[in-house]
Amino acid sequence: DTGVSQDPRHKITKRGQNVTFRCDPISEHNRLYWYRQTLGQGPEFLTYFQNEAQLEKSRLLSDRFSAERPKGSFSTLEIQRTEQGDSAMYLCASSFSGGNNQPQHFGDGTRLSIL
Amino acid sequence: GDSVTQMEGPVTLSEEAFLTINCTYTATGYPSLFWYVQYPGEGLQLLLKATKADDKGSNKGFEATYRKETTSFHLEKGSVQVSDSAVYFCALASMDSNYQLIWGAGTKLIIKP
């Protein structure tokens, strides 16, 4: 068990550029989640997948954000035309499905800084 | 809807002091409850969990008991160390939340030597 892996750890980009992050979940887990966290706050849910199906997206999620999990394994989160307000830590988590007692296991996150 | 309320931080203690971080929740049904810890610059780590009333989760000297009558899940540790300095998050997952984690705001813990 290598844990949840996220790449890159840090991303600095200019406003208006597109960025893409990758998450590799724990291999046995069929659920994968994306969260955003700003300094001093708890995580904010963005979206989640069960296998390759995207089952839920936050109503707060701008249409500039898109996520995929094409083969039910790794996932990518893309942000188009980045804005200053997108600066945050983007966290990925994975879990087994099957009820509310399955804990989510988190990666170390990708810190995005918009210049 | 479901919600989690944590005590505000920062909480500052001396090494070897007793720790309590309060967490209360609002949920319909029977949620599972979790404590996560976040060290500086890192992601969230599951610290402990409890899935039904009167369950006690424990790990690394930390404990929390699922109290349905008081809708609480307070985190405790008998003797804290400097290495426990981190931000602690209480969270719940329930059928009503579609098993998404509902998070408290986090409590920053500072342990002084």
Q: Is B45 on the interface with A (CB under 8 A)?
A: yes
Q: What region does B83 belong to: left with phi over 0, alpha with psi -120 to 50, or beta?
A: alpha
pLDDT band at A34 (very low <50, low <70, confident <90, very high): very high
Amino acid found at A41: Q
- A59 or A20, which is more confident? A20
Tens digit of each residue's pLDDT (9 = 90 or more) over B47-105: 999 999 999 999 999 999 999 999 999 999 999 999 999 999 999 988 777 778 889 99
Q: Which pLDDT score, from 0 to 100, does residue B104 have?
A: 93
Q: Tell me: cis bond preceding B10? Omega within 30 of 0 counts.
A: yes
Q: B53 - beta bridge partners?
A: none
A42 to chain B, closest Cα gap in Å? 5
Rg (CA), chain B: 13
Q: How far apart are CA A45 and CA A76, in angstroms?
A: 15
Tens digit of each residue's pLDDT (9 = 90 or more) over B23-56: 999 998 889 999 999 998 788 999 999 999 999 9
Q: Is B40 on the interface with A (CB under 8 A)?
A: no
Q: Which pLDDT score, from 0 to 100, does residue B15 have?
A: 97
In chain A, residues with a C-beta closer than 8 Å to the C-beta of B95 are 100
Q: Which of A4, A56, A106 sits opposite B98 (nearest CB)?
A: A56
Tens digit of each residue's pLDDT (9 = 90 or more) over A59-99: 878 899 999 999 889 999 999 999 999 999 999 999 998 77
With beta carbons less than 8 A apart as the criterion, state whether B113 and B15 touch: yes
Contact A103 B31 (CB under 8 A): no
The CA-to-CA distance between both ends of chain A, in Å, stands at 36
The CA-to-CA distance between both ends of chain B, in Å, stands at 41
In chain B, residues with a C-beta closer than 8 Å to the C-beta of A10 are none
In chain B, residues with a C-beta closer than 8 Å to the C-beta of A48 are 100
Question: Cβ atoms within 10 A of the Cβ of B34, count?
Answer: 28
Contact B103 A108 (CB under 8 A): no
